[in-house]
Amino acid sequence: MLLCWTTVATRDDADRLASDVITRGLAACVQIDGPITSHYRWQGQVERAEEFRLCFKVLPALLAPLEAHVLSHHPYATPEWIVVSAERVAEKYLSWAKANSTFPPFHTSQPSL
């Protein structure tokens, strides 16, 4: 299992992104934390902003479509996107995640009849 993080400026953006991802079956779970306070440098200036952090729990087979969806629907010009591999995942939780994630459709070279 992989854990992926991003942040957005509003709770509405966080809820929209989380709902979209779950509806499409791209992640087993999305948790929203916040508001949190982020300190960073942007265009040469030190900034401080209140944000909401999303944590996506995703199976490796769905990482590419999840990443593509999040980055193409993200409100920021330069979104945070960090992915780490979970060292351990409880078997029951992993089984639940597998049962509640949509895998990309199987494609065959044979035409449908």
Q: State pLDDT tens for residues 47-63.
A: 999 999 999 999 999 99
- The better pLDDT of the pair 107, 23 is held by 23
Question: What is the tens place of the pLDDT at every residue in 23-48?
Answer: 999 999 999 999 999 999 999 999 99
Q: Does residue 112 lie within any of the structural domains?
A: no
In angstroms, the CA 50 to CA 33 distance is 11
Q: Does residue 48 lie within any of the structural domains?
A: yes
User: If pLDDT is split at 50, 70 and 90, which confidence band does 102 have?
Assistant: confident
What's the alpha-carbon Rg for the chain, to the nearest Å? 16
Question: What is the tens place of the pLDDT at every residue in 64-99?
Answer: 999 999 999 999 999 999 999 999 999 999 999 999
Report CA 18 to chain centroid distance, whole Å. 7
What is the count of structural domains for the chain?
1
Q: Does residue 113 lie within any of the structural domains?
A: no
Q: Does residue 8 lie within any of the structural domains?
A: yes
- The better pLDDT of the pair 102, 43 is held by 43
Q: Does residue 83 lie within any of the structural domains?
A: yes
What is residue 111's predicted lDDT score, i.e. its pLDDT?
40
What is residue 103's predicted lDDT score, i.e. its pLDDT?
60
Q: Does residue 41 lie within any of the structural domains?
A: yes
